[in-house]
Amino acid sequence: MQIAALRQSIAALVAPPVEVYAAYLYGSAVRAGDVGDVDVALLVDDDTTLDAGLFGGIVVGLERAIGNAGPEVDLRCVRPRLASFAHEVFATGLLLWERSTAERAWLEARCEARYLDEKVLQYIARRARERGPHAA
């Protein structure tokens, strides 16, 4: 797969005023180099909605960048309210593009903070279940 082609294409496809802060390659293409499909995540804020035309145009542009006979592109948005998915993408993915390092880092930090909050709440709930309903 042509990582450089993906990087150039994504930079052109999500240029301002589109509210995308970063793009990541994740999944099998990063883990094993075995490409069944190309998983790309766009980092957006919780209140950002990408219209269907723009979303479809990004998919088509990325598929052209890797060659029309190449694997299919699976495009998803990652945002703070999807903290577990965001954490997975940040931990295992490859940064393809960022609008600015400061903006990307700020939004990643928001996602990770929410992920850690969720982990604490999950731990508390698990411990409560283990103790049972009558534990003091």
Residues in the chain: 136
Sheet hosting strand 72-78, strand order edge to edge: 72-78, 37-43, 22-26, 94-98
* Architecture of the domain whose range is 3-131: 2-Layer Sandwich (3.30)
Residue 97: partners with Cβ closer than 8 Å, 6 or more residues away:
7, 10, 11, 14, 22, 23
Q: Which two tokens stand for residue 70?
A: 């190449």
Q: What is the pTM of this model?
A: 0.85
Q: What is the pLDDT along the chain (136 residues), one digit of tens a residue?
A: 578 888 999 989 987 778 899 999 999 888 876 667 899 999 999 999 888 999 999 999 999 988 867 788 999 999 999 999 999 999 999 999 999 999 999 999 999 999 999 889 888 888 888 987 766 5
Segments making up each domain of the chain, as ranges: 3-131
